[in-house]
Amino acid sequence: MNISDFLVRGIIKSINARFSFADTVSTVTKGIFVHDTDPVSSFIFAKALTVGALVSPLLEGDEKYSLRWEYDGKISSVLVDVNAKCEVRGIPRETKLASMVSKEDELFGNDGKVTAIKSVDGKILNSGCCKAALMDIAEDMAFFFSTSDQLETGISVIIDLNGDPQKPVKKACGFMLQAMPGCDLKAFDVCRNRMNSPEFTAVIKSSEMTEEKKLWSIIGALLGISVEDSPENKIKKEIFYEFSSSPDYVCSCSRKKMKQAVSVLKKEEIDDIFREEKEIRIKCEFCNKTYSFAENDFSIDGL
């Protein structure tokens, strides 16, 4: 478990909407180090990983989300996997975007799509795809849930990078608001619009409050209640919340899984490889770990 990052999940009772609030500095820092991304790629990848953390409360048990953003700009694609424990991992197609673009418009291009697949033990439970019209990682995922899943959603992610390559992330956090059955959609839309306000942004970026005080201030900003003008108990009565599994960058790859991937080849194909090479080497794209297999790993005794 990542003890420095956190995830809070809960419900705003007055409008019947659920929310998740996450700090992901350590998580996205791990992802940046794994893929050696430059500042531009780091910003995009950090947003995607944070979105992954925010949607993890929508999962149960062994369920997993695979989220993919695809654009016709230089970003190309970003893939993020997340499970119910808020273990995230991802693959940015391009890791050196700073050298590929001269202006922001070139990052996303003119067209894109978002795909989300929910699965358990490799079996697809449901999937959906929609146009990525907003050209923003967080907003396009919110649009996906609002259209494909018919769940009105708002997602706000704040990423602030440092110039220090040893500590590349200064701030990485996010908030997701999602309507539940029976939600007051008019009140929900007011709250969602407030997620774009300077007051909301200032609160979520603040480093001077405890996690709970920041949460109360965020909910206050959404509902138009000032913590300074109103007792905190008034805001706390508006919500039910709990701290969930802490976000962390964790890859689920293993030697066994990689061997199974090779074993789908016919024996003749494996034999042909070993006539040319002393070993078969496979690198996991999520964590860049390389696994090596010798010929006897695929003998009858080694299977």
Span 62-77, pLDDT tens digits: 999 999 999 999 999 9
Alpha-carbon span 88 to 286, nearest angstrom: 10
Mean pLDDT (the chain) is 91
pLDDT tens string 233-290: 677 778 899 988 899 999 999 999 888 888 888 888 888 888 888 889 899 999 999 9
Q: Could you tell me what percent of the chain has a pLDDT over 70?
A: 95
More confident residue, 298 or 288: 288
pLDDT digits 0-9 by tens, 206-238: 887 888 888 888 998 998 886 665 556 677 778
What's the Cα-to-Cα distance from 251 to each of 11, 81, 226, rounded to whole Å? 30, 9, 41
pLDDT at 303 over 50: no
Q: Provide the whole-model pTM.
A: 0.91
Mean pLDDT in residue range 49-54: 98
- The conformational region for residue 224 under phi > 0 = left, psi -120 to 50 = alpha, else beta, is left
What pLDDT is attached to residue 2?
A: 53
Judged against a pLDDT cut of 60, whether residue 3 lies above it is answered with: no
pLDDT at position 10 is 95
pLDDT-based confidence at 302, cuts 50/70/90?
A: very low
The distance from CA 200 to its chain's CA centroid, rounded to whole angstroms, is 21
Pick the CATH number of 255-298 from 3.20.20.330, 3.40.50.10190, 3.90.1280.10, 3.40.50.300: 3.90.1280.10
Three-state SS at 46? helix
- Residue 299: pLDDT band with limits 50, 70, 90: confident
**Residue 1: is its pLDDT beyond 50?**
no
CATH code for the structural domain at 6-249: 3.55.30.10
pLDDT of amino acid 195: 95
Q: Where in the chain is the domain with CATH 3.55.30.10?
A: 6-249
Q: What percent of the chain has pLDDT over 90?
A: 68
User: Tell me, what's the pLDDT at 250?
Assistant: 97
- For tokens 């996205």, the residue is 28
* Angle (CA) 271 276 279, round 5°: 75
The residues of the chain that CATH labels 3.90.1280.10 are 255-298
Burial, 198: exposed, middle or buried (Cβ in 10 Å; 0-12, 13-18, 19+)? Answer: exposed
3-state SS, residue 290: strand
